[in-house]
Amino acid sequence: MARLLDETAALLEIDAADPFRIRSYRRAAEAVEQQTASLAGMVDDPKQLTAIGGIGKGMAANIVDLVNTGSMPLRDELLKKYRPSMLDLLRLPGMDPKTVALLWSALQIETMEQLEAAGKAGHLTSLPRFGQKQVDKILKGIADHRQNTSRFRIDVAEDWATKISALIREFPGIDQITPAGSLRRGKESVGDLDLLVTGPACGADVVAAAVEHVAALPLIDTLLAKGQNKVSFTLRNGLQVDVRLLPRGSYGAALQYFTGSKMHNVLLRQRALRLGYTLSEYALARMNPEEGEANVVAAAHEHEIYAALKMQYIPPELRENCGELDAAEAGTLPTLITLDDIRGDVHMHTVATDGRETIRDMAEAAARRGRAYIAITDHSKNLAMTNGLDDARAQEHVRRIREVDADMAGRIRVFAGIEVDILQEGDLDLSDETLSQMDVVIGSVHSHFQLPPDEMTARLLRAIENPYLRILGHPTGRKVLKRDPYQFDLDAVLRRCAELGVAVEHNAAPARADLHDLNLRKAKALGCKVSVNTDAHSIEDLDKMRFGITQLRRAWLTAADILNTLPADAFLAALRPRPVTVEV
C-alpha cells in the first residue's frame, strides 16, 4: 500500500498536479508504512482508517480500493498516460518531474536505458536546458545510481532494523534482537541487514511458529526464503533482510560470525586453529579435547571467545582487518570514544537561515541531551537558497545569540558562530570585521565542486589562511551514496590545518559522514585537531551525534583526540587562537 501511494504521488508530480494533492499522498504513504496493524482489517470500518494521522476520508477510500482491487482509479488513470519506469528517472540527480515529462513528450524516453542511449547518441542536447555538461551529469548519475541502489545509508538501515525488530518482538518469548553485519560494524552504508534473534529454550515446534511469524511481517515486499531457523526477504525499497533465530547458548558465536568482516573472521579462525581450536557460527571448540574436557570453550558470549583466544575484546567497529587482531593480542587496543564523552556540539542551524528551530529551542534541546555548550553556526549569504546571512544580519544574529547565552547561564553555554562559505577563489563570504565577533567560525565549501584538483586545493589552502577560520567543515564535500568528494590534495590541506591549528570536522550527519573513517585516521596521523558535530537543522538532528561517534570509533579515535570532549573554556582555548585586536 505504501509503495503504491508513494508511486501515485510521483506520477502526480510528473503530471504537474496540485502540490497539496501530491503531499497528501506522500503523507499517506508514510502513515501506512508506519502501521503495525493490518489495514486490510479496517476497511469495513473506515473510521479506523481516518483515525490514523495523515489519512483523511478521501485517502481512506483509496485504501479501501487498494485492499479490494490492488490499485486505485487515479493510479490506473495516470499509468495510462505515463509509464511505471518513468518513476525511476526521478531518482537521478537534477531530474525533476517537469524534465521527465519533457523527455517523454519530446523523445518518448521512459527508462534509464533509453535516457542513457539518448545521452550518448547526442539527442538530449537538442532539448531546452540540456547542454553537454547537463548530459554528462545525467550519464554520471545513471552510473552512480546503478552502483548505489543496492546500498543504504546507516541511518536508513538502522531505522528499518528498529521497525522490523519491534514487529518480531510481538512473538511471545523473544528476548534479544541484535543487528549484525556491516550495520553493527558501523559502516556508513550497508548492502543488506542481518538480524539475530534469541528467545527461551524451546522445541522445534515453537521455533517453526516463530519462523512463520517473521515470514508474515507486514513490511515484507518479497519473501525470498524460509528455512528451519532463517527467513530472508526484501523490503519495498529493495533492502534485503536476513533474520536468524538462534538458541541462547550459541548467540555469542553467531554474533561474532555474522558481524564480520570477512577478513577479520578469516584471521580469527586461523588464530583459533593455531591455538588448537575451531571457530564457527556455533561455538569456539577444542579440536582434540582431552578426557574430561568439555568440547565447547565459548559460545554464549562474544567476549568469552576473544578472551579464550588470548586477546582483548575487539569492538565491532574495529573488525575490518586494519591491524586490530595484532593490537588485541598485544593488549594495545585504544579505549574508543563514546557518546558520553561528548560535551559540546558546535555546528547547527536555526530559523535565521535553513534550520527549523530558534536559538533558544536548540539550546534547550542540547541541554536536555547533556551538552555543556553549543555553537549556533547559521549559513552566510552566498548560500542564497538557505537565506544566508550578510554582514549586517550576521552581526545582529550574534547579538541574539549572546542574549540567549546570558539567559541560559548555568545551564548551557551558547557560543556565537557562523558556517561561512568558502568562495571559488578561497575568500570567505563575510568580512573579517564580522568574523572577528564570532567564537566559532566554520568554513565550508557549498559550490563549484567541479574545480580541477589543483584549483580546489589552492581554494582550501587560501581559506584556511584566514586567521578567523577555526574549523574546516565537512572537508571533502561528499554526500553518502549521492555525491562523490570533490577532488583535491587532502594531505596538503590536512598538513596545513595541523600547522595553523585549524580543526577539521567530522560531520556526524549520516548523509555526509565527512571526514570518513580512513581520512580521520590520516588526520590524526598528521596531527590535526578534530571536532565532531551534528550539523543539526532541527532538534531531532541533535541525536545524530551517535552516528558520528560510530565513525570516530571506526577510525580508532579516543576521547583525547576530539576537541569537543573538552569543557567549554578548554574547547575554545584548544581552537586556533583568534587575532589580537590592538586599539590605537
Record the cell numbers describing residue 524, joined without a space. Answer: 590524526
**pLDDT value at 328 more than 60:** yes
d(CA 357, CA 359): 7
Give the predicted TM-score (pTM) of the model: 0.80
The CATH fold assigned to 339-574 is TIM Barrel (3.20.20)
State the pLDDT at residue 581: 63
Mind listing the pLDDT tens digit for each residue in 70-102? Answer: 889 999 899 888 887 888 888 787 788 888 888
Query: Which pLDDT score, from 0 to 100, does residue 202 have?
Result: 59
Alpha-carbon gap, residue 347 to 417, rounded angstroms: 8
* pLDDT tens per residue, range 19-40: 889 989 988 887 887 665 677 7
**How many residues can be counted in the chain?**
584
pLDDT of 149-203, one tens digit each?
678 999 999 999 999 999 999 999 888 999 999 999 999 999 999 999 997 655 6
C-alpha cell at 96: 525533476
Confirm whether 153-246 and 339-574 share one CATH topology: no
Q: What pLDDT shows up at residue 248? A: 87
What is the predicted pLDDT for the residue at 456? Answer: 97
pLDDT bin (cut points 50, 70, 90) of residue 584 is very low
The cell for 491 is: 594531505
Q: Hey, what amino acid is at 305?
A: I
Mean per-residue pLDDT, 299-328: 96
Mean pLDDT of the region 373-387: 92
What pLDDT, in 10s, does the model give residues 434-471?
A: 999 999 999 999 999 989 999 999 999 999 999 999 99
The helix/strand/coil state of 414 is strand
Q: What is the mean pLDDT of residues 343-361?
A: 96
Percent of the chain with pLDDT over 90: 66
Q: Give me the mean pLDDT over the 320-336 stretch.
A: 96
Helix (H, G, I), strand (E, B) or coil at 383: coil
214 or 10: whose pLDDT is higher?
A: 214
Task: Classify domain 153-246 at the CATH topology level.
Answer: Beta Polymerase; domain 2 (3.30.460)
Average model confidence (pLDDT) for the chain?
92
**Does the structure show a pLDDT above 70 at 582?**
no
CATH class of 2-148: mainly alpha
d(CA 46, CA 443): 53
Per-residue pLDDT reduced to its tens digit, 104-146: 888 989 888 899 999 999 989 888 878 888 888 888 888 877 7
pLDDT at 284 over 50: yes
Residue 415, SS3?
Answer: strand
Q: Which amino acid is at 357?
A: E
Peptide bond into 494 cis (omega under 30): no
Per-residue pLDDT band for 322 (boundaries 50, 70, 90) equals: very high
Place of cell 573472521: 265
CA dist., res. 153 & res. 518, Å (int): 17
Show me where the domains of the chain are located: 2-148, 153-246, 253-330, 339-574
Residue 206 confidence (pLDDT):
82
Q: Which fold, 253-330? A: Beta Polymerase; domain 3 (3.30.210)
- What's the helix, strand, coil split of the chain in %, to 5? 45, 15, 40
Question: What are the φ and ψ backbone dihedral angles of 402, each rounded to 5 degrees?
Answer: -60, -35
Classify 502 as helix, strand or coil.
coil
Q: What is the pLDDT of residues 505-564, one digit of tens each?
A: 999 999 999 999 999 999 999 999 999 999 999 999 999 999 999 999 999 999 999 999
